[in-house]
Copies of this chain bind each other. A is one copy, B any other.
């Protein structure tokens, strides 16, 4: 179970842009405050824009802004935008895994893991994570 640098950076960038609303936030500012390599970040921002999560504006006083409000964007949306499928097994989406013989039941494990992850990231919006909100909005999702 591995969260890639792309995925981590993408959520942090979206949070920083959401926190700057309604002003535009520059890529260079994101890279500085969140300690993300600028060139790498630019590729991630491009993916987020192509996925329809960001609007970009060029020229002086340009930058990025959210395409939807922070409450309408979930962490899962961001992860899917930069990683394709949310959960992959050996590089393929969890659904596509086919097992032979005694390992047939393993498929259900990965599907259960996928569902468990989905339940967390799809029920958490960017607004839930921003400071100034009630802390621990997530705690009720932790364990039964």
Contacts and interface: CB of A to CB of B under 8 A. Distances in A.
Contacts of A19: 101-102
Given A3-B1, A33-B100, A121-B113, A106 B129 contact: yes
Interface residues of A, number: 61
A30 to B, nearest CB: 11
Contacts of A106: 8, 11-12, 15, 129
A79 interface: yes
Instruction: Say whether chain A's binding surface is mostly helix, strand, loop, or mixed.
Output: helix
A1 to B, nearest CB: 5
Q: How many copies does the complex hold?
A: 2
4 tightest Cβ-Cβ pairs between the two chains A and B: A105-B129, A116-B116, A19-B102, A2-B2
A138 B116 CA distance: 12
Interface of A: 1-5, 7-8, 11-12, 15-16, 18-19, 33-35, 75, 79, 83, 86-91, 94, 97, 99-106, 108-117, 119-121, 124, 128-131, 135-136, 138-139, 141-144
Q: Tell which of A16, A87, A88, A112 has the most Cβ of chain B within 10 Å.
A: A112
A42 to B, nearest CB: 18
Nearest to A101: B33
A105 B121 contact: no
